[in-house]
Amino acid sequence: MIRRMPFKLALFLSIAAAVFKDRADLVAENVALRHQLSCLIHRGPRPKLRPVDRVFWVLLSRLWSGWRESLAFVKPATVLAWHQKGEEAKLSSGSSGGGRVGRVFLLGSFASSPLIPIEVRRLIIQMAEMNVGWGAPRIHGELLKLGIEISEITVSRYMPKRPTPAGSRQRWATFLRNHLHEILAVDFAVVPTATFGILYVFFVLSLDRRRVLHFNVTRHPTAEWTAQQVVEACAFDLPGRFLIRDNDKIYGMKFRNRVDGLGLRQIRTAFRSPWQNGFAERWIGSLRRDCLDHVIAISERQLRSVIRSYVEYYHDDRTHLGLEKDSPKERSIEPREMGEVVAFPRVGGLHHRYSRERQRAA
């Protein structure tokens, strides 16, 4: 087993080595250690190196042979890699035809983007504004034909930002905002039971006022059963034009054919993008936090009764940030003259509805 050298002995040996060292080596070692100490003091235990720090160590490695022993916060191979990148950049810049086309890439990848003359920047903006549909590739090609050596990425950086055309594809948030009053959303919530089974809660949500048009509970959901729930939600009136759903296999051909027969246009969310069905996901979260996390599911009948009680509270009493602090079924403001505030239990006492005392008789 290897034993560590005692601290006093190590200190004595380091002092003895310093006595016999050359003065130039001592100065170089002092500078290297002071530089690292300054980085640790001012930038924390894991300092982020700046371009000037890299240049310092590349130069030090070329001027002092003992730089490896004094280097602590990076590996010597890292400094050698900086040096190699600097040499490659120097060779590539020297073979580009002469003349200065940008900032010097000195001793590593430290330089920022090239300096583009103001005339070239103005020409890029002029080309973009005077030619309909010209993007960065087209403008870059024209500049090359004019003898202007510049990258396509740089061209795109200096191009003016154009507003989105009216006829272009709507963004998802814009689509939801424009068609909120005619969109339905469907999804499943999974509920474990007391006997370690699984119950599935399917619901149809209207996004306009966050109303749950229909829900049901089952142990074994099928495409036929799921489609029937949508049909029951739209039994008396078609409450929307669009139906948002995910890509679950249960929404197969049988489901699609039956829902298409209702006149609903089905919109599938992107793969692994639950945020696109955010209203349904938020309702599931509210159902869990407000109700299911405080109840143990025993059977389909019991769970259906609990959720029905919560949906009534959700519609009639619960205020929503997205509805400007109103409930799906609008609640009227009760002035103070109507009496004292009284709490009425909801969802088995998990929540309460607060109303003025006069409302109790009604």
Domain spans of the chain, in order of start:
20-114, 118-158, 174-329, 332-362
Euclidean distance between CA atoms 314 and 359, whole angstroms: 19
Euclidean distance between CA atoms 200 and 25, whole angstroms: 75
Euclidean distance between CA atoms 303 and 297, whole angstroms: 6
Q: Is the pTM of this model over 0.85?
A: no
Query: Residue 217 pairs with which residues in a beta bridge?
Result: 201
Residues 6+ apart with CB under 8 A from 225: 218
Q: Give me the pLDDT at residue 207, please.
A: 94
Q: Give me the pLDDT at residue 69, please.
A: 78
Residues 6+ apart with CB under 8 A from 232: 214
Kindly report the backbone phi and psi dihedral angles of residue 320, in degrees, each rounded to the nearest multiple of 5, phi listed first.
Answer: -130, 140
Q: Give me the pLDDT at residue 338, please.
A: 87
Is 174-329 CATH 3.40.190.150?
A: no
Q: What is the mean pLDDT of each run of 10 residues along the chain (362 residues)?
A: 50 54 74 79 74 80 78 77 68 45 40 68 87 83 86 86 58 84 96 95 95 96 96 88 94 94 93 91 95 94 97 94 90 87 92 77 46
Taking the alpha carbons of 311, 312, 318, 323 in that order, is the dihedral positive or negative?
positive
Q: Which residue type is seen at 156?
A: S
**β-bridge pairing 183-192 and 211-218:** unpaired
Q: Give me the pLDDT at residue 103, please.
A: 39
Angle at 116 between CA 114 and CA 120, to 5 degrees: 150
